């Protein structure tokens, strides 16, 4: 298959998903806002979302992300890319289709490294959408973009480990259905830098786990919540160490590649929606006797948005194609490149769409302000821009390591 072919089954899902978005998801956005307002609790699980989940399941638009046929349709990354892009157009669609971060990454971890017990207790209900999960790596006390700094202590005591430390930004941990955390911490401070950390499965209600607060993001309390969590003498049985002691880095490499590119696919969907809103608004609002769209600078923004979207889409597809053909590890340079490019470019397009909307752009009458806040966090979450650029630069410089200075 060439990189640009869309398989028959991906095309089928695409058509079905587009129909589902039009018939159910976009109309649900206003209902969602209404139900959330009435509940007065930012972490409320509104009935409309459960209705969307049931409908998506009924239509077979469920777990499309999962690469293993045993657990989902088994689509390749290249097949999934246009589908994730469509879901990215509405903040409701990823959870409606059970394709939302961080659960997708956690489901992949449980699939690859979980025991039979983990699969029964966590993977199956996650795949059914009845529970949610969080991933706790980042810590307030250390610069966590260098994950070797992560220091929550995991000390062996007989058949258990005892966990002490503080995490923050554990997304999803305030979701009312969240039951489980995957926690990264330090089991052996003396080991080689990439063998010091391990990942463990910790029920969110384990004694000693305290969710302290939900961190606001640009003033928003996201529904899933980004939690600060304290761990005080939390006892974890050895059987709940994923893959084995010292394997934390190996697992995060496996987990973060797909998770990152999924964010990029959805960011393209957000950019497409922003461009659509920008064009609609600019065509219908009149200033100084003509539509806003008649101004050359606005047309320039629209043209640039189209060019930029096409570029990031192609790079995303290339990264997805490489993940499918040579593997996530070999595709890391392209993944790093798109993880920088997609959020930045989508952010620029959303920003211009906001500008074209005037004051309305920063209200919640349009999905633009929320999209901007979310995209801005993507320049940090799953690795800040600078860390991905570091990966890229090191890869480029490697080509010149034998170059001698002229003298
Ligand atoms: C909305 C949101 C959701 C998140 N969800 C999760 C989650 O579910 N689970 C989780 O564990 N974490 C999560 N995070 C945390 C995120 O992954 C971290 O914030 C990120 O990895 C950066 O770590 P840090 O905040 O400790 O920044 P630091 O490590 O303190 O870095 C600060 C800044 O230093 C700069 N920097 C770092 N290294 C270099 C370098 N080599 N060269 C130049 N500049 C550099 C970068 O600009 C970086 O932003 C989330 C964050 C946000 C905002």
Pocket test for ligand 1, best of 169, 202, 217 (most atoms within 8 A of CB): 169
Query: Does the pLDDT value for residue 3 go beyond 80?
Result: no
CA of 144 to the centre of ligand 1 (A): 6
What SS3 state is found at 220?
A: strand
Q: 174 and 227 in contact (C-beta within 8 Å)?
A: yes
Ligand 1 atom at shortest distance from the alpha carbon of 136: 11
Ligand 1 atom at shortest distance from the alpha carbon of 171: 8
Closest protein CA for atom 44 of ligand 1: 386
H or E stretch at 395: helix 385-398
Please write the tens of the pLDDT for every residue from 216-265: 999 999 999 999 999 999 999 999 999 999 999 999 887 777 888 999 99
DSSP state of 24: I
Closest protein CA for atom 9 of ligand 1: 170
Pocket test for ligand 1, best of 132, 136, 144, 222 (most atoms within 8 A of CB): 144
Pocket test for ligand 1, best of 381, 382, 383 (most atoms within 8 A of CB): 381
Closest protein CA for atom 41 of ligand 1: 387
**What is the C-alpha separation between 201 and 319, in angstroms, rounded?**
30
CA of 404 to the centre of ligand 1 (A): 36
* Strand bridging mode 226-237 / 160-171: antiparallel
H or E stretch at 203: strand 197-203
CA of 337 to the centre of ligand 1 (A): 17
pLDDT given for residue 267 in this prediction: 98
Query: How many Cα atoms sit within 13 Å of 55 on the Cβ side?
Result: 19
pLDDT given for residue 259 in this prediction: 85
Query: Does the pLDDT value for residue 1 go beyond 70?
Result: no
Look at residues 228, 213, 218 and name the one whose alpha carbon lies nearest to residue 371.
218
Average pLDDT value for residue range 311-320: 96
CA of 384 to the centre of ligand 1 (A): 5
Closest protein CA for atom 38 of ligand 1: 387
Q: How buried is 21 (Cβ within 10 angstroms: 0-12 exposed, 13-18 middle, 19+ buried)?
A: buried
Which of the four pLDDT bands, split at 50, 70 and 90, describes residue 407?
low
Look at residues 245, 251, 249 and name the one whose alpha carbon lies nearest to residue 160.
245
CA of 145 to the centre of ligand 1 (A): 5
What SS3 state is found at 390?
A: helix
CA of 380 to the centre of ligand 1 (A): 5
pLDDT given for residue 255 in this prediction: 73
Q: What percent of the chain has pLDDT over 70?
A: 99
Ligand 1 pocket by Cβ (under 6 Å): 102, 135-138, 143-145, 169-171, 217, 226, 377, 380-384, 386-387, 390
Which of the four pLDDT bands, split at 50, 70 and 90, describes residue 49?
very high
The pTM for the full model equals 0.95
pLDDT given for residue 142 in this prediction: 98
pLDDT given for residue 201 in this prediction: 98
Q: Dig out the tokens for 305 from the structure.
A: 């948005």
CA of 147 to the centre of ligand 1 (A): 10
> What's phi and psi for 315, nearest 5 deg?
-65, -35
Non-local CB neighbours of 302 within 8 Å, separated by 6+ positions: 275, 278, 279, 282, 293
Q: Which residue blocks in 97-211 are alpha helix, DSSP H? A: 103-113, 116-118, 124-128
Average pLDDT value for residue range 183-210: 97
Closest protein CA for atom 12 of ligand 1: 138
Closest protein CA for atom 42 of ligand 1: 386
Ligand 1 atom at shortest distance from the alpha carbon of 222: 1
| Nearest 10 degrees: Cα torsion 54, 100, 371, 51 | 10
Q: How far is CA 195 from CA 148, 189, 305, in A?
A: 9, 9, 44
CA of 340 to the centre of ligand 1 (A): 13
The sign of the dihedral angle between the CA atoms of 184, 189, 193, 195 is negative
Q: 48 and 65 in contact (C-beta within 8 Å)?
A: no
Q: What percent of the chain has pLDDT over 90?
A: 91
Please write the tens of the pLDDT for every residue from 270-295: 999 999 999 999 999 999 999 999 99
**What is the C-alpha separation between 172 and 215, in angstroms, rounded?**
11
Pocket test for ligand 1, best of 168, 384, 393 (most atoms within 8 A of CB): 384
Ligand 1 atom at shortest distance from the alpha carbon of 217: 1
CA of 1 to the centre of ligand 1 (A): 37
- What is the average pLDDT value for the chain, to the nearest integer? 95
Ligand 1 atom at shortest distance from the alpha carbon of 134: 8
Look at residues 181, 199, 208 and name the one whose alpha carbon lies nearest to residue 245.
199
Please write the tens of the pLDDT for every residue from 141-192: 999 999 999 999 999 999 999 999 999 999 999 999 999 999 999 999 999 9
Q: Dig out the tokens for 358 from the structure.
A: 């005037």
Average pLDDT value for residue range 18-42: 97
Closest protein CA for atom 17 of ligand 1: 381
**What is the C-alpha separation between 90 and 266, in angstroms, rounded?**
9
Query: Does the pLDDT value for residue 2 go beyond 70?
Result: no
Query: Does the pLDDT value for residue 70 go beyond 90?
Result: no
DSSP state string for 281-328: HHHH-EETTEEGGGSHHHHHHHHHHHHHHHHHHHHHHHHHHHHHHT-T
**What is the C-alpha separation between 180 and 75, in angstroms, rounded?**
26
H or E stretch at 368: helix 368-378
Number of H helices, E strands in the chain: 13, 9
Q: How far is CA 201 from CA 26, 122, 181, in A?
A: 36, 10, 6
pLDDT given for residue 253 in this prediction: 81
């Amino acid at each position: 298959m060439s990189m640009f072919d869309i398989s028959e089954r991906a095309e089928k899902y695409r058509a079905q998903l587009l129909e589902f978005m039009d018939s159910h998801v976009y109309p649900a956005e206003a209902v969602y806002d209404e139900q959330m307002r009435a509940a007065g609790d930012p972490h409320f699980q509104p009935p409309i979302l459960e209705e969307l989940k049931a409908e998506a399941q009924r239509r077979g638009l469920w777990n499309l992300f999962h690469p293993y046929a045993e657990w989902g349709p088994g689509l390749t990354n290249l097949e999934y890319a246009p589908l994730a892009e469509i879901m990215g157009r509405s903040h409701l669609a990823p959870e409606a289709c059970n394709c939302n971060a961080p659960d997708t990454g956690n489901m992949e971890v449980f699939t690859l490294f979980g025991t039979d017990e983990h699969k029964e207790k966590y993977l199956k209900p996650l795949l059914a959408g009845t529970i949610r999960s969080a991933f706790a790596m980042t810590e307030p006390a250390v610069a966590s973009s260098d994950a070797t700094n992560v220091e929550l202590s995991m000390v062996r005591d007989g058949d258990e480990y005892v966990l002490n430390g503080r995490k923050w930004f554990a997304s999803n941990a305030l979701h009312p259905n969240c039951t489980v955390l995957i926690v990264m911490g330090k089991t052996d401070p003396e080991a080689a830098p990439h063998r010091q950390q391990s990942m463990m499965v910790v029920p969110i209600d384990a004694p000693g786990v305290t969710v302290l607060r939900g961190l606001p993001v640009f003033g928003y309390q996201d529904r899933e919540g980004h939690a600060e969590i304290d761990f005080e003498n939390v006892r974890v049985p050895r059987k709940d160490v994923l893959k084995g002691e010292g394997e934390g880095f190996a697992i995060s490499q496996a987990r973060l590649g797909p998770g990152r590119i999924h964010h990029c696919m959805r960011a393209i969907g957000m950019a497409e929606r922003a461009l659509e809103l920008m064009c609609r608004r600019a065509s219908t609002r009149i200033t100084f006797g003509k539509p806003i769209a008649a101004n050359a600078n606005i047309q320039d923004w629209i043209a640039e948005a189209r060019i930029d979207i096409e570029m990031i889409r192609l790079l995303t597809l290339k990264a997805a194609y490489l993940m499918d053909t040579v593997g996530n590890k070999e595709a890391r340079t392209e993944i790093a490149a798109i993880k920088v490019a997609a959020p930045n470019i989508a952010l620029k397009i959303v920003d211009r769409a906001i500008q074209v909307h005037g004051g309305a752009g920063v209200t919640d009458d349009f999905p633009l302000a929320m999209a901007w806040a979310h995209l801005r966090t993507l320049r940090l979450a799953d690795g800040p821009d600078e860390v991905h650029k570091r990966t890229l630069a090191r890869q480029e410089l490697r080509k010149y390591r034998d170059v001698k200075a002229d003298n």
